[in-house]
Structure 1
Amino acid sequence: MSEATETDQGNRRRSSDSSWQIYKRLLKYVKPFWFAFMLAVIGNVIYAVAATGMAAAMEYVIAALENPTDENRILLTGMIVGVFALRGVGFFLSQYYINYVGRNVINALRKQVFDKLLALPSRFFDENASGRLVSKLTFNVEQVAQAASNAITIILREGLTIIGLLLFMIYTNWKLTLVFLAVGPLIALVVNYASRRFRKISQRIQSSMGDITHVASESISGYRVVRTFGGEQYERDRFRRVSEKNLEQSLKMATTQAISVPVIQVLVAIAIAALVWTMLAPEIRGAMTTGELVAFITAATTMAKPIRQVTSVHSKIQKGVAASHDVFSTIDEKPENDTGTYAPDRVEGEVEFDHLSFRYREQMDDVLQDISLTIPPGQSVALVGRSGSGKSTLVSLLPRFYEFTGGDIRLDGHSLKEYSLEALRAQIALVTQNVVLFNDTIAANIAYGVLRDCPEEQIREAAAKAHALEFIDRMPEGLQTMIGDNGVMLSGGQRQRLAIARALLKDAPVLILDEATSALDTESERHIQEALEYVMKGRTTLVIAHRLSTIEKADRILVMDGGRIIESGRHSELLAQGGAYAQLHQMQFSEQG
């Protein structure tokens, strides 16, 4: 045997083992619903017994036809009704309860994946497009349903039917049964090949579905840019490419299934033909009556449908295995590192950066280098500098959206890693340039998350301080007005004011303002600046600002460049130095002039 052949066979064995391990893991989700599953099994047994009984009844049908007495007429008609009624009961039990189990498994998986997504670090979302993650929650989990419900139903119902019919055939004439079973190895080879191909194509289909969701979500959410810059044709072409790739893979799946099923049917037909040819030999037929022969042939031909069903179910199983592999890979992702236990009710707010460094990936250069800085409680510190100087990265390390790679950050003398993430983030309020709002009421967006139980009076007070009541009171339903997906019903300035109101309502000792007034006009900015100056009192505040006019009253201004702090001081002191800050100020002053 060649080395390449050995390698190929080894890969197949590992793939088979992996598929079985994944499927066993999927079946563990069935355990909480074992009672419903057992009812489904009982239903499948009843169905299989009824299907076998229909074949066995043919012997009595022939006997009744040869001897049409009143007793036989009653017996035969009662038998027909009874068998079909029994089959109907079995079908209902198996179909309903296995679907009950399957949908509950999907519900459990979907919730587990979503819970894991909420606990994963920021790096995961940087590396995975949101459209593909949504596809996992929708399309991929639905594919798991096929393996966890429909596939099991078919395997149990049709598999038990095959077993029942085989037992009847062996009981009737074991020699003829051996002739029928001779094609079994050939059927197994066809099923094995089709299964491997089904799984490979299923993985490609799921990947292409992720691409479809990703492209569609980008085009829909960015429709203003698409239309303004004439990107309609580009987006059409992009969507058609991923959609046609999905079509190509789906057709490959359909082709494999369309070829494998008839091939198996032909093999079964050959077995039945060989059976008929053989049973005409007197030494094989033996003492079998005409009724027994007809019952035997009926059992053999009845088996064709369940064999076809069982072999075709492999496509559903392989789709489910491929989808389960993708879903489980997300569930197995490492969550945020949350080993800290320190959880004070409220900190004073002293922040210390001690020789801090950070890089996004091991192979990349440091984007923050040897940052050392102490911010006393209640002091406001402004960060300025060119784009890419590291301002936003520095403040994103404070809530531990990323783990710093060197040095330390301490809050009230305790390393951030000593805090539990929930306790740490409870001390921090955040307003970013890219405001995130939810398709809910204005009140629910201001009092979001842990703030949801705040009384309406506090919500109105926070909105008033953020100068948001000016437009809220003009809304049809005031604070209870729905604002649409990501606040689409609001202007940029209005959305920013709601985000500031949310931060005001949280009343945290540490406040991060990342370009918090960037979306406001000059008049609104003046009002907001007054509100921010009010809320900054007594709070440790880190402000990232592009407009230097908004940070002139900061206790300290830090100028960053290349991931380092190159200047530090108050507004007047930095202007007097005539360095980088003075140049930035002069550039903005000239632009405004």
Structure 2
Amino acid sequence: MPWKRYIRYNKPFWLSNLLGFIGALFNGAMQPAFAFIFSEALNTFTKQGDDLIDGGVFWGIMFIVLGLCNFLSFYFNMGGFFIAGEQLSYDLRKRMYNNMIRQEVGFFDTNDIGDGSEKAPGGGANTTSTGTLTAKLATEAGLVHGLNTNIGQVFQQIVTVVGGFGIAFFNGWKLTLILLIAVPFLFLGSFIRGKAIRNKNKENRAIFENSAKVATEAIIGIKTVYSLNLSDYFIDVYDKKLIEPEKRLERRAYLSAIGTGFSNAVSFIAFIIGYWVGAKFIEKGEIQFDSMFKVLMAIILTAMAVGQSSSIISETNKAVEAFMHVIEIIDRQPKIDARDPKGTVKAPEEFKADLEFSNIRFRYPSRPKITVLRMGDKKITVPAGKMCAFVGASGSGKSTIIGLVPRWYDIGHGSVKLDGIENRDYNVKWLREQIGIVNQEPCLFNISIKENIKYGKQDATDEEIYEACKKANIHDFIMSLPEKYDTPVGGLGTSQMSGGQKQRVAIARAMIRNPKILLLDEATSALDAESELIVQKALEEASEGRTTITIAHRLSTIKDADLICVFREGRIIEMGNHEELMNLKGEYYNMVLAGDGSIAKGNEIAKKDN
């Protein structure tokens, strides 16, 4: 546990923590003080007449004072640590999210937290998903909230032990030493319970994260779940994730209960020993009754505090584990960092946007043993302002190579160059500002249309937004809506717009950046015929004067491309323009013969011919 770092995080909240520790100090002194006052009060009942009345009144007032002090100490103890814990939880959650949102894409593909080395699912690590990450964000920082309170309780128990033993040794050291025989057994019970709960904490965290993953995926795809009547199925899956380790958790719960019961039993045994030995000492005149009772009460109350420490220790362990997970996420350095100010930055008039892919060999971090792209000695050159089209069967590497341009991933072999400079040598943030991307399934956020488009350029004026929407053929539709540009889009999986409308908003968002490079990843493949024609027209207008790479599912849309690359199983098997590839009578030729849009069928024909 990096305590120095934990203290550093708590420094801004020093006043709340100070009040908490002051409260814990006085709260810890309450049990020894109660033992002393209670013993003295009992001794009053041995007196007669006015001494009895005066003593009763005095010690009654002392109990009232003790109660008021306990109220104030408990208020400052719990209030101070609770406020500090809330502030710390907020600060850590903010730090977690700020660092999580800046990681490279590979981080979200893998369960890689900490040292920066990705782990494949086949290597024993679970794949990270939205559900897992959001569960960590929600729970881990929240668990750390209790660490301040738990540390305060530990401090309180230490004060109780020191005060109790001090009173006990002062009033009868022989009897105290005899009663201390029970202390190791109290700690043994606490150790058994703490160990059982510590293991249970890890499993509970895994259960929550795995079940949250299932719930998130089902909720995001709720329309698909309903359409396939999978509600009962996902209920069963969720239940299985929750009850999967039930037997192990039950066994540890039994062990925890044994530890608690053992500690409580030892406390009562200590009572028996104390009364019996104390009676013998009184009989021999070695100790007075009131002193014996002070020793007994101080030791027993202290022993009870030690017995309760097992639950505090288990909660502290849980919070410490959570803090370690939090700082793992906070400390993780992204391999591709958009915050890094280093890298080449060019003036707009200097950047031409010539693209070149050469000798690329690439593997995804989540699948390090599977080579997705094998270009060999092939080179793709796209001059500034020209269009290059990628065609091929699903899984042939088309989308992968597009994702290398904005550096979603870095390649292990080969290069991606812009204006003759490798893309990894450019400033990441500046590089991505030069690129507009339209995917097959556009991601729109649950905010207004205007705010969605402004995500492309946050300082955009209304005139720039209107112009971008006109280029995307969506302006007239937006103006026909009751709330116009302030119309909410809707959440993920529950959008209030059709596929074609969402796609055109995404195109407008890409256009408002005025990018030098446009990447189109099957931007019309999921649309109906009418929407496809409208969106295709918008894309053609958007591509004018820009270096464009498009992944086509309908061959008629790329006949005029300056360069067409045919992919199969991660390799480029043909390159050229439409006429050149038709003259080759190879795979592209077979695709065209198979019928527009039937790329997969064309691939099968080509394989048979080979």
**In the superposition, relative to structure 1, how do residues 27 and 252 fare at CA in structure 2: closer, same or farther (>3 Å)?**
farther
Give the Cα separation in 1 of the matches to 2:407 and 2:39.
77
Q: Aligned pair 1:49/2:29, yes or no? A: yes
> Secondary structure at the residue paired with 1:349?
coil
Give the Cα separation in 2 of the matches to 1:544 and 1:367.
16
Give matches, 1:32-431, under 5 Å.
32-65=12-45, 66-67=47-48, 68-69=50-51, 71-127=54-110, 128-146=128-146, 148-245=147-244, 248=247, 251-252=250-251, 254-282=253-281, 286=285, 288-338=287-337, 340-346=342-348, 347-360=351-364, 361-370=367-376, 371-431=378-438
Aligned counterpart, 2:489: 483
1:63 Cα deviation after fit: 4.5
> Secondary structure at the residue paired with 1:398?
coil
Contact kept? 1:350, 1:377, Cα under 8 Å = yes
Q: TM-score scaled to structure 2, two decimals?
A: 0.87
Give the Cα separation in 2 of the matches to 1:516 and 1:460.
21
**In the superposition, relative to structure 1, how do residues 196 and 73 fare at CA in structure 2: closer, same or farther (>3 Å)?**
closer
1:590 Cα deviation after fit: 8.9
Contact kept? 1:159, 1:306, Cα under 8 Å = no
The one-letter amino acid of 1:60's match is: E
Give the Cα separation in 2 of the matches to 1:112 and 1:306.
36
**In the superposition, relative to structure 1, how do residues 525 and 366 fare at CA in structure 2: closer, same or farther (>3 Å)?**
closer
The CA deviation string for residues 489-547 of structure 1, in whole angstroms up to 9 with x for no partner, is 22222211111111011111111110112233323322322322222122111111111
Give the Cα separation in 1 of the matches to 2:567 and 2:281.
99
Aligned counterpart, 1:535: 542
> Secondary structure at the residue paired with 2:101?
helix
> Secondary structure at the residue paired with 1:182?
helix
Task: Tell me the percent identity.
Answer: 31
1:485 Cα deviation after fit: 1.2
**In the superposition, relative to structure 1, how do residues 401 and 215 fare at CA in structure 2: closer, same or farther (>3 Å)?**
same
The one-letter amino acid of 1:462's match is: A
Contact kept? 2:31, 2:302, Cα under 8 Å = no
Deviates more, 1:148-157 or 1:250-259: 250-259
Give the Cα separation in 2 of the matches to 1:35 and 1:413.
57
> Secondary structure at the residue paired with 1:242?
helix
Give the Cα separation in 2 of the matches to 1:489 and 1:257.
52
Deviates more, 1:463-472 or 1:268-277: 463-472
Contact kept? 2:406, 2:431, Cα under 8 Å = yes
Give the Cα separation in 2 of the matches to 1:455 and 1:488.
25
**In the superposition, relative to structure 1, how do residues 59 and 233 fare at CA in structure 2: closer, same or farther (>3 Å)?**
closer
Give the Cα separation in 2 of the matches to 1:289 and 1:223.
76
Aligned counterpart, 1:7: none
Aligned counterpart, 1:522: 529
Give matches, 1:493-504, under 5 Å.
493-504=500-511
| The one of 592, 602, 610 aligned to 1:585 | 592
1:134 Cα deviation after fit: 1.4
Give the Cα separation in 1 of the matches to 2:131 and 2:423.
32
The one-letter amino acid of 1:108's match is: D
Deviates more, 1:181-190 or 1:223-232: 223-232
1:585 Cα deviation after fit: 1.7
The one-letter amino acid of 1:206's match is: R
Contact kept? 2:453, 2:506, Cα under 8 Å = yes
> Secondary structure at the residue paired with 1:358?
strand
Give the Cα separation in 2 of the matches to 1:34 and 1:489.
48
Give the Cα separation in 2 of the matches to 1:252 and 1:491.
53
The one-letter amino acid of 2:23's match is: G
Q: Aligned pair 1:507/2:507, yes or no? A: no
> Secondary structure at the residue paired with 2:371?
coil
> Secondary structure at the residue paired with 1:307?
helix
Deviates more, 1:565-574 or 1:509-518: 565-574
> Secondary structure at the residue paired with 1:363?
coil
Give the Cα separation in 2 of the matches to 1:203 and 1:362.
28
Contact kept? 2:564, 2:577, Cα under 8 Å = yes
Deviates more, 1:57-66 or 1:101-110: 57-66
Contact kept? 1:447, 1:454, Cα under 8 Å = yes
The CA deviation string for residues 240-268 of structure 1, in whole angstroms up to 9 with x for no partner, is 11121365565455433332222111112
Aligned counterpart, 1:467: 473
Higher helix proportion (structure 1 or 2):
1
Contact kept? 1:55, 1:298, Cα under 8 Å = yes
> Secondary structure at the residue paired with 1:354?
strand
The CA deviation string for residues 388-436 of structure 1, in whole angstroms up to 9 with x for no partner, is 2211111100011111111111112221121121121111111111211
Give the Cα separation in 2 of the matches to 1:103 and 1:303.
30
**In the superposition, relative to structure 1, how do residues 103 and 196 fare at CA in structure 2: closer, same or farther (>3 Å)?**
same
**In the superposition, relative to structure 1, how do residues 78 and 429 fare at CA in structure 2: closer, same or farther (>3 Å)?**
same
Give the Cα separation in 2 of the matches to 1:149 and 1:348.
56
**In the superposition, relative to structure 1, how do residues 590 and 64 fare at CA in structure 2: closer, same or farther (>3 Å)?**
closer
> Secondary structure at the residue paired with 2:442?
coil
> Secondary structure at the residue paired with 1:230?
coil
User: Which ranges in structure 1 are unaligned for 5 or more consecutive residues?
Assistant: 1-20
Contact kept? 1:379, 1:541, Cα under 8 Å = yes
Give the Cα separation in 1 of the matches to 2:159 and 2:347.
62
The CA deviation string for residues 294-318 of structure 1, in whole angstroms up to 9 with x for no partner, is 3333323333442232122122123
> Secondary structure at the residue paired with 1:303?
helix
1:474 Cα deviation after fit: 3.3
User: Which ranges in structure 2 are unaligned for 5 or more consecutive residues?
Assistant: 111-127, 600-610
The CA deviation string for residues 115-142 of structure 1, in whole angstroms up to 9 with x for no partner, is 2222222222122122111111112332
Deviates more, 1:335-344 or 1:218-227: 335-344
**Length, aligned pairs only:** 570
The one-letter amino acid of 2:19's match is: L
Give the Cα separation in 1 of the matches to 2:134 and 2:253.
25
Give the Cα separation in 1 of the matches to 2:486 and 2:283.
84
> Secondary structure at the residue paired with 1:263?
helix
| The one of 443, 456, 459 aligned to 2:462 | 456
The CA deviation string for residues 426-448 of structure 1, in whole angstroms up to 9 with x for no partner, is 11111111211111111111111
Give the Cα separation in 2 of the matches to 1:489 and 1:246.
41
Q: Aligned pair 1:553/2:560, yes or no? A: yes
Contact kept? 2:566, 2:575, Cα under 8 Å = yes
**In the superposition, relative to structure 1, how do residues 102 and 467 fare at CA in structure 2: closer, same or farther (>3 Å)?**
same
**In the superposition, relative to structure 1, how do residues 581 and 169 fare at CA in structure 2: closer, same or farther (>3 Å)?**
same
The one-letter amino acid of 2:363's match is: R
Contact kept? 1:447, 1:459, Cα under 8 Å = yes
Contact kept? 1:429, 1:511, Cα under 8 Å = yes
Aligned counterpart, 1:18: none
> Secondary structure at the residue paired with 1:565?
strand
1:156 Cα deviation after fit: 2.1
